[in-house]
Amino acid sequence: MFTPRFAIWPTLPLDIHFRTESTWRPFPLNQENCRIFSRARQAIWSACIALDLKAGDTVLVPAYHHGSEIEALLLAGLKVKYYEIDGALAPDEATLLPLLDKQVKALYLIHYLGFPQDGAYWRKWCDDRNLLLMEDAAQAFLSTKEEIPVGSHGHVAVFCLYKTYGIPDGGAVISIKPPAPPRLTAETGNWRILKRHLNWVATKRGEVGFLHGLVKPALSWWKRQRDRPHAEFEMGNPDTPPALMTTRLLPKLLNEVTAHKRRRNYQYLLDHLGEMVPRQFVYLPDGACPFAFPIEVENARPFLERLRQKGVLGLLFWINPHPTLPVEEFPRSRFLRERVLALPVHQELTEYDLKRIVSAVQESRTALPAQVAAV
Ligand SMILES: Cc1ncc(COP(=O)(O)O)c(C=O)c1O
């Protein structure tokens, strides 16, 4: 009954406030043209305005997306045209080429779960067509490809810092024309810090995990009652800076071994649950800093519930696309949305925690092993 609980979001150790600051500043934080907002969507919106993209200019965007990035582009006055991803999650050139016309000004490239796309190839593809490359590294902060940081090839690149470290918020952007820094007064972020600390304790103490398990469904239900449809895509005020706690704690959290620890955890899960992993994610490329560990299941919702009862809070990520997506026209993206669950790999997990996650997944597994259909 008193089971520790593991969520995909990085937790925050209690001693963090007493640690010394790291002098290490990874890309893009070491770039002079880097700006930090509260959320990546605000960074995307601000970058579009700074780049002087005009109302009606069109961005080619993937049908497999979070939704908030699409909303930010639309709120910046741009149009979007959807393209399908290929079997390796890269833009499917066959679906890209017919979309090109005079209004198309940019290609939007997402680095899924921290797995690097071929940024150099897509930059050349864009240069050959006089387009901007917008790299979405929301899930790929600290990832590199051939020792070059993900996001280095784009005219614009965005990153979510809070997906890698247990801070309240933080959406970084670098751009050939950097936006002005956000001007609103920063919130403290204390409440979200408390939640991250509690999540950390819940991975260690079954009693706290148990309480977490009781409170979380009630909170989620309450949130759902209050939420407007598509609230998860809303931008808020694009002038919002990161919380004070983000600015204070990030230098204490930045660590050169974070990516290595995430990779090690990913590999552990791969060694034990490899047959459940969608084929696009079965090989962890050198330099990737994985955001989460994906498994593919046929009945995702009941599977998630069984996992939850065993203390693992998986995420059926991207189940809801942006409402402007004609879902039926993009079967590969739809397939991934409906069947891929994300499990934790963050750097605070111990080998003991990983063992528990593996057991929870194995026990929750339905009779039929997940099949990766050839989509
Ligand atoms: C691919 C991608 N882009 C952009 C965003 C937006 O990030 P934020 O929630 O910080 O605005 C997300 C959020 O999950 C995302 O997954």
What mean pLDDT, rounded, does the chain reach? Answer: 93
Q: Quick one: the chain helix, strand, coil %, rounded to 5?
A: 40, 15, 45
Distance from C-alpha of 81 to C-alpha of 87, rounded to nearest angstrom? 20
136: Cβ below 6 Å to ligand 1?
yes
Contact, 293 vs 317, CB < 8 A? no
User: What's the pLDDT band for 367 if we cut at 50, 70, 90?
Assistant: very low
40: Cβ below 6 Å to ligand 1?
yes
Q: Is pLDDT at 375 greater than 50 in this prediction?
A: no
Give the distance (Å) from ligand 1 centre to CA of residue 141. 12
111: Cβ below 6 Å to ligand 1?
no
Contact, 111 vs 64, CB < 8 A? no
Alpha helices in 177-279 (DSSP H): 190-204, 206-226, 244-253, 258-273
374 or 81: which carries more pLDDT confidence? 81
User: What's the pLDDT band for 210 if we cut at 50, 70, 90?
Assistant: confident
**For strand 312-313 and strand 171-175, is the pairing parallel, antiparallel, or unpaired?**
unpaired
62: Cβ below 6 Å to ligand 1?
no
Contact, 353 vs 268, CB < 8 A? no
User: What's the pLDDT band for 47 if we cut at 50, 70, 90?
Assistant: very high
143: Cβ below 6 Å to ligand 1?
no
For 245-289, write each residue's pLDDT tens digit.
999 999 999 999 999 999 999 999 999 999 999 999 999 999 999
Pick the atom of ligand 1 nearest to 171's CA. 10
From 70, 160, 291, 319, give the residue whose CB has the most ligand 1 atoms within 8 Å, as the site to mutate: 160
The confidence score (pLDDT) of residue 222 equals 74
For 125-140, write each residue's pLDDT tens digit.
999 999 999 999 999 9
240-to-119, 190, 206, 237, 279 alpha-carbon distances in Å: 29, 16, 37, 6, 38
Pick the atom of ligand 1 nearest to 170's CA. 10
User: What's the pLDDT band for 227 if we cut at 50, 70, 90?
Assistant: low
The radius of gyration of the chain from alpha carbons, rounded to an integer in Å, stands at 20
> What does the pLDDT average to over 50-75?
97
The confidence score (pLDDT) of residue 373 equals 45
Question: Looking at domain 19-175, does it have CATH number 3.40.640.10?
Answer: yes
Distance from C-alpha of 213 to C-alpha of 205, rounded to nearest angstrom? 12
For 286-344, write each residue's pLDDT tens digit.
999 999 999 999 989 999 999 999 999 999 989 999 999 999 999 999 999 999 999 99
> What does the pLDDT average to over 175-188?
97
71-75, 244-248, 368-372: range with lowest mean pLDDT = 368-372
Domain limits, the chain:
19-175
276-to-112, 365, 369 alpha-carbon distances in Å: 18, 10, 7
- CA triplet 350, 353, 1: central angle to 5 degrees? 145
Q: Is pLDDT at 193 greater than 60 in this prediction?
A: yes
Contact, 233 vs 28, CB < 8 A? no
